[in-house]
Structure 1
Amino acid sequence: MYSGNKGEWSEIYVFLKLLSEGKLYAADENLNKIEDNFYPVLKVIRQDTRGEFEYVRDREIRVVDKINNNVVRESSDYEYAQQSKQLINQIKKHEGTFNVAEVESFLNSIGVTNLKAKSSDKSDIKVVVHDYITGHQPTLGFSIKSKLGSASTLLNAGKTTNFIFKIDSSLSDSQISAINNIDSRSKIKDRLKAIYDAGCNLSYYGMENSVFELNLQLIDSKLPDILGRMLVHYYGGEGILLNKLTAIIERENPCDFNTEYSHLFYKYKIQNFLTDIALGMTPSTVWNGKYDATGGYIIVKEDGEVVCYHIYNRNEFQQYLINNTRFDTASSSRHGFGTIYKENDDAYIKLNLQVRFN
């Protein structure tokens, strides 16, 4: 039995829909399909438990077992279209983890035995397209995000994503204990308020994970400081959305950039950060600037429409990212943040970075 959540089934839906339509449409910054901007799909390459399969669009869709070098099945694009329609209807109906018996037999007949294709990088699907710009037929890896289920995470929380802040005025042990004992629903926000009420401020000190800190500095040397300042505003209750938080620090200008000519320093840096996270960078692995998702992002919209942001459409993709992401609060006990601690008589507190789609 094939069992998965909305996100996992959405990957299969994209696979079927691209093969049935033979076109991957680009989107503008608001996720609207651009009718006259698409990439012809020539084939899809998929790693499965049985091996590697190629799904070649010709007069029919030909399934090729690459290990044994034989054709497994030939089917019409109409059959793929019918299967994708059945699947999207079932994805919309179900919650949690579920089976879709209507498509199981077909999936098995075309070499699909598991919902999520094997991958060692951030790409969920590999597509060979005809590139009108270069005339080439590149194999592109796309990351798939679905708006059919709960909001996807762009940057997962972990101890690796903790930022460390020094409390710049002294707090007594009894004050620290009282603040740490605040256990309200919004305890991090309330603890920060108590720190401020005690006449203290927070200054960025460093990060718990040096690899992530260096990854951020590779993107931009000021990025750890900028994200740290945004986290202070977020946990202080001043904003959740990335575009709003970015606007706050544009006005604040904590890095003291020369804004005489209205350069949007912070927006540019945050957009680059979001792009690199989306296409390859992870907190705990040394980042070399090389994208894993070499094609970009494919997004399944609420109505089942499938659109993409290709790396050629970088401006639209970056605007989409900053307009459709937010900070989120993970478990403070699990990831070890939000509690004041002392080292060498100085007091510190950690705040955690997690980025989620709206």
Structure 2
Amino acid sequence: MITGNKGEWSEVYTLFKLLGDKQLFLGNKEIEKLEGIVYPILRVLRTEKNDDFEYSIQDEIILISGREEVLKIAITEFKEKAKILLEKIKASKERTFSVPEIEKFMQSINCISLKASSTVKTDITIVIHDQRTNQQPTLGFSIKSQLGSPSTLLNAGKTTNFIFKISNLKLSKLEINKINSIDSRSKIIDRINFVLNSNGQFNFVKTERQIFSNNLILIDSKLPEILSQIIYEFYSSSKSSVTDLTHRTADKNPLFFDVSNEHKFYEYKVKRFLTDVALGMMPSKVWTGQYDATGGYLVVKEDGDILCYHIYNKNEFENYLFNNTKLDTASSSRHDFGSIYEENGELYFKLNLQIRFIK
């Protein structure tokens, strides 16, 4: 029996739903359908552990090829099974669960596992017909489901720590221990406020790992400083959405950009960063700027609709990321941040960057 969580079952639901709909709907930044732009689906490609399978749409029939045989399944079957599976996913209260009535149908269409093979970066690959260009691009997608818990865009680690120097303040070891022992629910903000109320100042020095810094500089030379300001804003205020934090940072303009003509420097650079993270940039690995095979996201909404965001439609993709992500606080003990420490007679404080989808 196949068991999985809501996110994993959402991958199978996506396959059924797309084949039933026969078309891809583009989404806007509010996660609603973009009116007037639809991509007819020609084929869906899926890699299983034992083979590659192709689901071709021909009128009201799905042709499934992969091994020697070619299966023919009516599109109405996919529509019906998608509806059943959506109800089961939404109704489940368990962390992992099985759906026996769907499992039988999965086996009949050579869909053996919930997740695509781990050897491929895409969750699903779709060949569409772009009526504007008359092209038939093959687009890879990662599936983000709102039916389960919000997923992370950038995972926390010591690799995503930003180091700040505390200036204008002298503290004894006893005072440092006193501040670090603050253990409230908002302990990091409270520790920051203690320093600020003692006339201390926080100044960004560098990221903890040079490789992450260089990745950021490759995207934009000012990005380490911009992100440090956004992170500091997050930990020292009640704001968490990327849009709010970016706009607050832009209002303060700590990098003194010339905004006399209202250039959106901060927003533009943050969008580039989010896009590169979404398409392959990892803090621990050298980033070349080469996007991986997953060129975008399919978002499974709570009502079961599926919306497409892809670098193929760059503006919509960037706006989706910018408007639907937030900063999140990871474990400070695990990732070693949020405490004052001394090094060569100077005081330092680390803050961590983790980015999560809002839904």
Distance in structure 2 (CA, Å) of the matches to 1:119 and 1:131:
29
Runs of at least 5 residues in structure 1 that lack an aligned partner in the other structure: none
Runs of at least 5 residues in structure 2 that lack an aligned partner in the other structure: none
Which secondary structure state, in structure 2, belongs to the residue aligned with residue 250 of structure 1? helix
Distance in structure 2 (CA, Å) of the matches to 1:238 and 1:82:
45
Given that 2:28 and 2:319 are in contact with CA atoms closer than 8 Å, whether structure 1 keeps it comes out as no
Which residue in 1 is equivalent to 2:90? 92
Which residue in 2 is equivalent to 1:152? 151
Given that 1:143 and 1:297 are in contact with CA atoms closer than 8 Å, whether structure 2 keeps it comes out as yes
2:110 matches 1:136: no
Per-residue CA deviation, residues 86-125 of structure 1 (Å, 9 max, x unaligned), is 1001111013211111200011122222211024565321
Which residue in 2 is equivalent to 1:265? 265
Deviation (angstroms), 1:310: 2.8
Distance in structure 2 (CA, Å) of the matches to 1:121 and 1:257:
42
Per-residue CA deviation, residues 112-160 of structure 1 (Å, 9 max, x unaligned), is 2221102456532111111223323222101211111222211111111
Per-residue CA deviation, residues 219-262 of structure 1 (Å, 9 max, x unaligned), is 11111111111111111124111111111111111111111111
Quick one: structure 1 residues 231 and 164, their matched pair in 2 at CA, closer, same or farther if it must change by over 3 Å? Answer: same
Which residue in 2 is equivalent to 1:235? 235
Which residue in 2 is equivalent to 1:353? 353
Which secondary structure state, in structure 2, belongs to the residue aligned with residue 329 of structure 1? coil
Q: Which 4+ runs in 1 deviate beyond 3 A?
A: 119-122
TM-score, length of structure 1 as denominator length: 0.95
Per-residue CA deviation, residues 8-42 of structure 1 (Å, 9 max, x unaligned), is 11111111111122100112222211343111111
Counterpart pick for 2:81 among 75, 80, 83: 83
2:116 matches 1:125: no
Distance in structure 2 (CA, Å) of the matches to 1:207 and 1:199:
24
Residue pairs, 1:45-64, within 5 angstroms:
45-59=45-59, 60-64=61-65
Per-residue CA deviation, residues 277-310 of structure 1 (Å, 9 max, x unaligned), is 1222122121111222554221111110111123
Given that 1:50 and 1:111 are in contact with CA atoms closer than 8 Å, whether structure 2 keeps it comes out as no
2:291 matches 1:291: yes
2:151 matches 1:166: no
Given that 1:5 and 1:97 are in contact with CA atoms closer than 8 Å, whether structure 2 keeps it comes out as yes
TM-score, length of structure 2 as denominator length: 0.95
Quick one: structure 1 residues 265 and 35, their matched pair in 2 at CA, closer, same or farther if it must change by over 3 Å? Answer: closer
Distance in structure 2 (CA, Å) of the matches to 1:128 and 1:323:
27
2:298 matches 1:302: no
Which residue in 2 is equivalent to 1:256? 256
What code does the residue aligned with 1:272 have? R
Given that 1:13 and 1:84 are in contact with CA atoms closer than 8 Å, whether structure 2 keeps it comes out as yes
Quick one: structure 1 residues 122 and 337, their matched pair in 2 at CA, closer, same or farther if it must change by over 3 Å? Answer: farther
Which secondary structure state, in structure 2, belongs to the residue aligned with residue 87 of structure 1? helix
Which secondary structure state, in structure 1, belongs to the residue aligned with residue 69 of structure 2? strand
Deviation (angstroms), 1:316: 2.3
Given that 2:29 and 2:324 are in contact with CA atoms closer than 8 Å, whether structure 1 keeps it comes out as no
Matched residue count: 355
What code does the residue aligned with 1:105 have? K
Quick one: structure 1 residues 294 and 137, their matched pair in 2 at CA, closer, same or farther if it must change by over 3 Å? Answer: farther
